[in-house]
Chain A
Amino acid sequence: MSREEFRALVAGSATGELLNLTAPLSLWGGLDPDTGLIIDRSHPELGQSMTGAIVTMPFGRGSSSSSSVLAEALRLGTGPAGFILDLPDSILVIGSLVANRLYGTVCPIVVGRLPSGSTGRWVIDQDQVIPMPGSGSGPAA
């Protein structure tokens, strides 16, 4: 199990396939809330879907409209299951909190680092982040 330390920015539980973003993303201009797809033409993960994923990202970049885009994606059911960030990001935090208030959606956000090479299905549960059986970290540990 992971010995990494995590801190919950937005509390909650979620399970999903990891989507590891290798560069910061601005959700505004970067995520299409109608489809859940990454649309930033300069982003390495262009075209991938955030829907239902546990998204790992160094930090949120760019526009302050990203909170609205996250809330809208969560309303439409195209949003991610949760976020694991290297650095805290209040723009994503407020987007998740407002969607929860308006629509009862749950999108936990934790700060901390997964071991490099982590893949598969993972669970965020408050300030714990754990792999599902068969998932894990590193190349064939």
Chain B
Amino acid sequence: MLLSDQDRAMLTGRSGEAVRTAMELLIAVAESEEAPALLDISAAHIDGGLYHGEAGLDFARGLVDGGGRVVVPTTLNVSSLDLLHPELYRGDPATAKAARALMEAYVAMGCAPTWTCAPYQLVSRPGPGDQIAWGESNAIVFANSVLGARTARYGDFLDICCALTGRAPATGLHTDEGRRATLLVDLEVPDRMLDDDLFYPALGHALGEIAGAEVAVITGLDGRAGEDRLKSLGAAAASSGAVAMFHVAGVTPEARTVAAATHHRAPSRQVTLGIPDLIRARESLNHGEGPLGAISVGTPHFSVHELDHLGRMVAGKVSKVPFYVNTSRDVLDEFEHTGSIAAIEAFGATIVTDTCTYITPIMGDVDGRVMTNSAKWAFYAPGNLGVGVVFAGLEACVSSAVSGRVEIGEVW
């Protein structure tokens, strides 16, 4: 692999032990990917601040002790704790202490304490062509697909190695060739489906199962596929598959046409998705039986627009079951100046920031199933929390909250 003079200098330890470690690991990974060289990045998003055990903390502390400081603007993904609402945490105090120490280690390296899985909702976000190193599967797929920025799937540890060195392997999704769609997905659904929020995560779930790790181009969507809907589509596809990028013909920045997305070459596979496939995807996200125990929305973190939409939907209503809304501290701060937060609070919803209800003990013992409009939450919560799940749209979540019973309403 071709190393620059600067890469080699970092290997000598002149910039500190942390930088040396980061560069050594980065080169080992780059060689495993057969990358020809490293390239400069302009930003990073770090998933390593979520506590999974001592290994993560040992690694981060080693970097702090080795003088590690990020050299590009770096944001932090969700953690295990809600620092704005610490009383929500119901887990073991020793784990909370270790999780806190992990968060502090990453902040000590100069990462911004954004604590969100949706860094693309922050005021400063990357743009088309920007080379970045992002962790968090839903953020990765959004950055590539919707923003047109360029990131591979960075796992924990590798993300901070990139941030400490400002470098990343010059391969895969960082290159033109790696972004070429090889799978063509033709949607054949009635036009009214495109107005339904639940259609998008169900499509994402089906896409992940079909695409695996391939880059797909989807036809049959239009401008109604806005950022919030593409967010839910991508998050679902990155959970059921290893999808790190998709194109939507006529919608996403590198797919003005199908031919633009496939770089004017024939796709190696072509799949048609219709209503039966989407129904199967939607139904496979339900899990278990039982009454309505709680509701959780905002995975990935709710945007200002989604919070506002929820606020208008719940105005004057009261939830009979615990209702959780996950969002980021920055979005909440922005939303607090817009007003309808009072409606959400009067509704009885608990706003969770900095973390998410499916990764840390916030909900406690739920008596019954949890309803969610997130395919990602529905996908992971049964394994993580041991709960049953009802996957349904936001309106169904709100009407079920009001009646205290699972009410799906009319659905395709």
Contact = CB atoms under 8 A, between A and B. Distances in A.
Interface of A: 9-10, 24, 26, 28-30, 33, 39-42, 58-69, 71-72, 74-76, 87-88, 90-95, 97-99, 101-103, 109
B213 A68 contact: no
B52 A68 contact: yes
B87 interface: no
A64 B153 contact: yes
Nearest to B209: A23
Contacts of A10: 28, 32
Chain A to chain B: the 10 pairs with minimum beta-carbon distance, closest first: A91-B155, A67-B155, A72-B53, A71-B55, A9-B32, A68-B52, A68-B156, A94-B158, A67-B156, A64-B135
B411 to A, nearest CB: 21
Interface in B8-60: 21, 25, 28-29, 32-33, 47-48, 50, 52-56, 58-59
10 contacts: A61-B239, A66-B156, A68-B53, A75-B53, A75-B55, A76-B53, A91-B155, A93-B29, A94-B155, A109-B32
Contact of B140 (A33, A64, A98): A64
A9 B382 CA distance: 32
Contacts of A62: 137, 238-242
B263 interface: no
Given A28-B52, A91-B158, A93-B29, 7 more contacts: A24-B242, A42-B284, A63-B239, A64-B137, A71-B157, A94-B157, A102-B59
B212 A24 contact: yes
Given A72-B52, A94-B29, A99-B55, A64 B156 contact: yes
Contact of A95 (B155, B240, B284): B155
A31 to B, nearest CB: 10
Contacts of A68: 48, 50, 52-53, 55-56, 155-157
B7 interface: no
Nearest to B243: A61
Contact of B136 (A64, A87, A101): A64
B55 A93 contact: no
A40 B240 CA distance: 11
A59 B242 contact: yes
B89 interface: no
Contact of A41 (B156, B238, B287): B287
Q: Which of A39, A64, A102 has the most CB of B within 10 A?
A: A64
Interface in B374-388: 379-380, 382-384
Given A64-B135, A101-B21, A72 B156 contact: no
Interface of B: 21, 25, 28-29, 32-33, 47-48, 50, 52-56, 58-59, 62, 135-137, 140, 152-159, 161, 169, 208, 212-213, 238-242, 284, 287, 379-380, 382-384
Nearest to A74: B55
Contacts of B47: 64-65
B33 A69 contact: no
Contacts of B158: 67, 90-91, 94
Contacts of B55: 68, 71-72, 74-75, 98-99, 102-103
A24 B379 CA distance: 14
Contacts of A93: 28-29, 32
B307 to A, nearest CB: 25
A65 B55 CA distance: 12
Nearest to A28: B52
Given A65-B47, A102-B58, A94 B25 contact: yes
A98 B213 contact: no
Contacts of B161: 94
B186 to A, nearest CB: 24
A24 B284 contact: no
Contacts of B159: 64
B156 A94 contact: yes
A65 B383 contact: no
Given A62-B239, A65-B52, A90-B32, A71 B383 contact: no
Contacts of A24: 212, 241-242
A55 to B, nearest CB: 16
Contacts of A72: 52-56
Contacts of B242: 24, 59-62
Given A33-B52, A66-B155, A75-B54, A97 B29 contact: yes
A37 to B, nearest CB: 11
Q: Which of A68, A97, A99 has the most CB of B within 10 A?
A: A68
A30 B58 CA distance: 23
Contacts of B379: 29, 42
A90 B155 contact: yes
A126 B16 CA distance: 31
B156 A88 contact: no
Contacts of A40: 383
B155 A59 contact: no
